[in-house]
Amino acid sequence: MKVVFHDDFYQIYTADPASDAGRMEAVIDVIQSEVEFINAQPASPADIEAVHSSDHIEYVKRQGLYPIASLAAGGAIQAALIGLEEPCFGLIRPPGHHASASSCWGFCYFNNMVVALEHLKSQELISTAYVLDIDLHFGDGTVNILKGRDYVTVHNVAANDRYSYLQEVRDEMEVCRADIIGISAGFDNHEDDWGGLLITQDYFEIGSMVRAAADRNDSGCFAILEGGYNHSVLGHNVKALITGLSKG
């Protein structure tokens, strides 16, 4: 599988857990022998301005975070573009699903998923899209921005036990009809992370269900990194998801 990444994502750009030292290395160490890395490129100002207000963009610039945040958004665009042809994973940070049009919180600055989907839509590469958010935390920014845009469905998995969680994803994928499926891939619901719910194999199952839905629809699929903070398991969880996406 192609994985979009850039060495700049190694940098410690803030003091929050998404920027912790060793977080990217924990994933690279596990997956590097099995994937093809694609160098991330920054999102254009036009792509970011299509999603975020000028005041918010200026806020991110004042924090000194525009270069890394725009690189993450650009990596998401690349993952989505590749995802139209074959499954792809965006190993990017900062995350994005708590970024609304004019505000942000929760370690996020620009909404990477929305920037990616809006790019595809503006280029007339898709007519419909589906976002499956598997992060522990509700992706309020994604919902806030996309709630008035009827080309995309956003689903945050809400079940609080393993069986119901996987069944909820299965039910959604069985009825999903979209030109592309994007996974906001937070791994903080793992049993050894903040959420304490899922096991590593579950991420393989989720990836497989998404790939099966994409194949059925003759559509694309991709995933981008959101949360996940236990470095000892994060890489294995990412590997499980991308293996499921690869094999269907």
Domains of the chain by residue range = 2-247
The answer to whether 228 touches 187, Cβ cutoff 8 Å, is yes
User: What value does the mean pLDDT take over residues 166-175?
Assistant: 98
pLDDT 10s digits, 21-68: 999 999 999 999 999 999 999 999 999 999 999 999 999 999 999 999
Q: What angle is formed at CA 165 by the lines to CA 229 and CA 135, rounded to 5 degrees?
A: 30
The answer to whether 183 touches 224, Cβ cutoff 8 Å, is yes
pTM, 2 dp = 0.98
- Identify the band that residue 156 occupies on the pLDDT scale cut at 50, 70 and 90: very high
pLDDT 10s digits, 176-229: 999 999 999 999 999 999 999 999 999 999 999 999 999 999 999 999 999 999
Tell me the pLDDT of the chain averaged across its residues: 98
Res 247: pLDDT? 82
The answer to whether 102 touches 144, Cβ cutoff 8 Å, is no
pLDDT(248) > 70: no
Res 148: pLDDT? 86
Class at the top of the CATH hierarchy for domain 2-247: alpha beta
Res 77: pLDDT? 99
Cβ-based neighbours of 90, under 8 Å, separated by 6 or more: 3, 4, 40, 75, 76, 78, 79, 112, 222, 223, 224, 225
User: What value does the mean pLDDT take over residues 90-104?
Assistant: 98
Burial (Cβ within 10 Å: 0-12, 13-18, ≥19) of residue 17: middle
Residue 185, strand partner residues? 225
pLDDT 10s digits, 136-154: 999 999 999 999 899 999 9
**How many C-beta atoms surround the C-beta of residue 123 within 10 A?**
10
